[in-house]
Structures are given as C-alpha cells and as structure tokens.
Structure 1
Amino acid sequence: MSGRLAGKTALVTGSTSNIGRATARALAAEGAHVVVSGRNAERGKEAVEAIRAAGGTADFVVADLDGSAAASRALAEEATRVLGGRVDILVNNAGIYPPNTTETVDEETFDRVYAVNVKAPYFLTAALAPAMAAAGGGAIVNLGSWIARLGVGVSSLYSSTKGAVETLTRAWSAEYGPRGVRVNAVSPGVVHEPLPEGVASPGDVMMEGTPAGRHGLPEDIAAAVVYLASDEAGFVHGTVLDVDGGRVAAAVVRN
C-alpha cells in the first residue's frame, strides 16, 4: 500500500465484479476507505473481505441503482454514513449492456438501460457533488466507453448512454470544477478478466488492429481511475481518458 489516497473516502458503484471490483481494490490499496456497492450481497461481502485481507479498509452497501432519484439518494446517504460523514471520491461505474440491435430494442429495455447507465449516476452525482464542494473538494470519475466515439453496427443503445456520460463529464466539470470538485472519465476498450487458455471473448475481435493488440484487464482501468482520483491529477478537469489499447486513436495496418 503506497498511500496516495491515505485519509480519503471513496464510493464505487457496481463494484462487486470486473472493473468495479478492481477499482475498489486499487483505491483501497492506495489508502482510501472504500464503500463497495452493488445488488449482490454475497459478491459484495467477498469483495470487501479480499480488500481487508490485503490490508485495506472497505465496507459493503447494498444498492439497486434503478435510475430513480430515491435509489441514488439512499446510496449517497448510506455511503456517507458508513464513511464517517463524507465521500471524497465517487466512481460512477455501474452499468448494464444488453446485446441488442436498434430494431430489437423495446421501450422497456430502452428505459431500463438509460435509467441504470445515465439517470442513476446523474442523481448520485447530484446528491454527492454539492457535499464534496461544501467539504472543500473531491473527485468524480465516470466510466465511459470507446464505443461512444467509434461507431459500430451493434449496441447503439448502450453506446448512446456512454455518449451521454461523457457529455455529462464535461458539463459537470464546468459546473463543479470551480467549486473544487474535479470531474473526469475513463473510457475503456474491450476489458475482461483473464480467460482459460484457448478461450476468447467475442468482443476480443474488436481489439485486433490496435496498438495493444489485446483486450484490457480490469486492473488497467482501475489504475487510470486511481490516477484521476488522486492529487496527481489535480490539474485534470473534464477529460475523457482513453484506456483502450489505442482503439479510437490508431489503426495498425500490417503489410
């Protein structure tokens, strides 16, 4: 534990698996007291136990961020209580990704994806950012996606929600930055935990032709979140940091 975030408190939504879990672990490893949140209490307990076993400080708060303002406010209040009265770092990570095409998305699915991916972080930020400003400052890190800026023929619904999150990142930076709250985003490429030898994720094909030439790991994204949440990024505002193996920046053409 190096202590870059010693004395800080953090709330990570959707942190019982994958990127969220790795982020909670990384923040705790840097000294932050972390609230792990999600719907699954068993996985939340496991995530907290792993952090504590590594010498970190963490607690679990169950939360079903359905997009209602009430659900977001309830999580904000409980996390603030558990963290001793303040939240210094908010990571808006929770999201859902149903594999639909435009024609196959029904209205119920459309509303649910926007509720979880856009409304929930919107109202959670509204609940916590003013308190951060009143306490002297804070950092908010949103999770975007490369697919918001590099159009592909699937996932139009999901990509549009991540486009909204990236726009909110810039708007919130203008709104809260002058009040001491830095707002930035991380835009991951294809990311998943290691798979057994010879097994590939269907999304891995999207990383072919990139400088990295591989999918990312949850820890790759977590490291970027830690940087944006730390004082090292004190002059970074309203930025979307691409951590995507070069997916949106460069194409590798092989002769």
Structure 2
Amino acid sequence: MTSVDLAGRVALVTGATSGIGAATAALLAERGAHVLVAGRDAARGAHVVAAIRTRGGKADFVAADLRTADSVRQLAREATGLGGGHVDILVNNAGIYPLGPTERASRSDVDTVYDVNVKAPFYLVAELAPEMAERGRGAIVNVSTQAAQKGMAGAALYGSSKAALDQLTRSWVAEYGPRGVRVNTVSPGPTRTQGTAAMGDDLDALAAEAPAGRPAEPEEIAEAIAYLAGDSASFVQGALLAVDGGRTAI
C-alpha cells in the first residue's frame, strides 16, 4: 500500500466488477479505504475483491441489482452493515448505455435505462446521504458521460439519463453540502472497457473527435473519481470534471 489518505473510510462503488468501477475500487483500496464492490456478477466481483486483497487492500463484494427500488435499498443496508454502520464514500458508477435511433427504443429500454442510471443513484443517496450529513462528512461522486453535455445522434436515451444525474449532483450539493457532504460529477469520454469492447473501431472513431485523439483507460477515469472522493478535493462541491480528452471543450 503506497498511500493511506482514505484509511478508515468505507467506499461503496456500484458497477465495480469491471471497467471504470473495478479500477476505481482498486485505487480507493490502495489509498486505504475499505471498498464495497457492488455488482450483479458474483464471480467477477470475487475476482476484483481477490485482486484488491492480494495487494493488501480491504474489500468485500455486495450483490446488487439496481433495476428495482427495493434491491437498491437492500444494497444500501448491506453496505452499511459491512461498513460497520456507515458508508463514507459513494461512487454511483453503474450505468447502461444502449445507443441507437430514438424510434427504436422500446418502453422496456427506456424504463431500464432510467431505473439504473437515474433512479438507483437517487435511492442510494436517499438511503446513505442523511447518515453522512448527521456525521458531518461524506463524499458522493456521480459518473456521467460526455453525451450528457453534447448532442450525439443515437445517444438520446443514454445522454438524457446522465444529464438527469448531472442535475441531481447540483441538487444534492444544495441539499447536503451545507451539512458536510460533498457531491461532484466525473464525466468520462470514450473508455476502453469490457463493456465498450463490442464497439470495435467505432470507439476509436468517437475518441478521435477529441484533442487527445484516443480512448481513455479505466485507470485514468478512476484517478479523477478518487481525487473527488478524497480530502484533496475538500473545497470542491458541485463540480463536473470532464475526463474526455478535451471533447466537450471544442
């Protein structure tokens, strides 16, 4: 372990069994946090937890289906129990990102995207932020997307759900910020993960539109999330940190 600035903190990371979530879980653990790895795939979760423990970190897997309010609230309760009665850091990373023409989106598609991308973070914050506020300390990091800031053909459903999450960040700053809970957003650009592998050359083409000219690695996004979760960002509230290679700047 090379850094322990998050020692004693409990961090719940959703969608943490692969990609950006797994990289974030690993980095928060390296910095001393007890990380709760939330996801639906127990085998992948066990792999992430084992890797963290092998490096000397502390982690546990928590099964999570974010498509229903009851299961989200159950996740919050289990995380609080595993955390010894509290969660100090919440990373709302889990998300689904179907792309395609608006007219082809089914009612089920719309419901599922908003259940996972908007309602799940909402219910998790409703369960966990009040206790953070009572203790006068906490950090919430919402993971958004460049598609929430720029109009992109085929991304109406995904982009609008994340734009809603961006607004939730601002609302939660007003609601919980005065009581010591910091809420911020990280907005990634195209990133190489298991989930985006199916995009093939389209991922590189999308990334080529940005000044950086390449997709991000999950660890690059995780660094931004960990910064906002830690004390180095103690005066950062309501920020939207674009980690998109400069795409939204041009």
Normalised by the size of structure 1, how large is the TM-score? 0.93
AA partner of residue 185 (structure 2): A
**Secondary structure class of the residue paired with 1:248:** helix
Identify the residue that residue 210 of structure 2 maps to in structure 1. Answer: 210
AA partner of residue 215 (structure 2): H
Mapping of residues 194-205 of structure 1, within 5 Å: 200-205=200-205
Q: Report how many aligned residue pairs link the two structures.
A: 245
**Secondary structure class of the residue paired with 2:5:** coil
Identify the residue that residue 59 of structure 1 maps to in structure 2. Answer: 60
Give distance in 1, aligned partners of 2:209 and 2:115.
34
Mapping of residues 155-194 of structure 1, within 5 Å: 155-193=155-193
AA partner of residue 3 (structure 1): V
Give percent identity, aligned residues only.
56
Identify the residue that residue 223 of structure 1 maps to in structure 2. Answer: 223
Structure 1 gap segments, 5+ residues each: 251-255
Mapping of residues 56-135 of structure 1, within 5 Å: 56-66=57-67, 68-135=68-135
The answer to whether the Cα contact below 8 Å between 1:51 and 1:58 also exists between their aligned partners in 2 is: yes
Give distance in 2, aligned partners of 1:229 and 1:242.
15
Identify the residue that residue 137 of structure 1 maps to in structure 2. Answer: 137
Greater fraction helix? 2
Identify the residue that residue 7 of structure 2 maps to in structure 1. Answer: 6
**Secondary structure class of the residue paired with 1:187:** strand
**Secondary structure class of the residue paired with 1:184:** strand
| Aligned Cα root-mean-square deviation (Å) | 1.3
Residue 193 of structure 1: how far off its partner (Å):
4.0
Identify the residue that residue 27 of structure 2 maps to in structure 1. Answer: 26
**Secondary structure class of the residue paired with 1:97:** coil
Residue 181 of structure 1: how far off its partner (Å):
0.3
Residue 209 of structure 1: how far off its partner (Å):
3.8
Give distance in 2, aligned partners of 1:209 and 1:118.
27
The answer to whether the Cα contact below 8 Å between 1:72 and 1:127 also exists between their aligned partners in 2 is: no
The answer to whether the Cα contact below 8 Å between 1:4 and 1:31 also exists between their aligned partners in 2 is: yes
The answer to whether the Cα contact below 8 Å between 2:102 and 2:157 also exists between their aligned partners in 1 is: yes
Give distance in 2, aligned partners of 1:201 and 1:232.
37
**Secondary structure class of the residue paired with 1:4:** coil
Distance 1:171 1:85, change over 3 A: same
Give distance in 2, aligned partners of 1:37 and 1:149.
27
AA partner of residue 205 (structure 2): V
Identify the residue that residue 253 of structure 1 maps to in structure 2. Answer: none
Residue 218 of structure 1: how far off its partner (Å):
0.4
Mapping of residues 145-156 of structure 1, within 5 Å: 145-156=145-156
Structure 2 gap segments, 5+ residues each: none
Residue 100 of structure 1: how far off its partner (Å):
2.4
The answer to whether the Cα contact below 8 Å between 1:113 and 1:158 also exists between their aligned partners in 2 is: yes
Q: Choose 97-106 or 141-150, whichever is displaced more.
A: 97-106
Normalised by the size of structure 2, how large is the TM-score? 0.95
Residue 70 of structure 1: how far off its partner (Å):
1.4
AA partner of residue 32 (structure 2): G
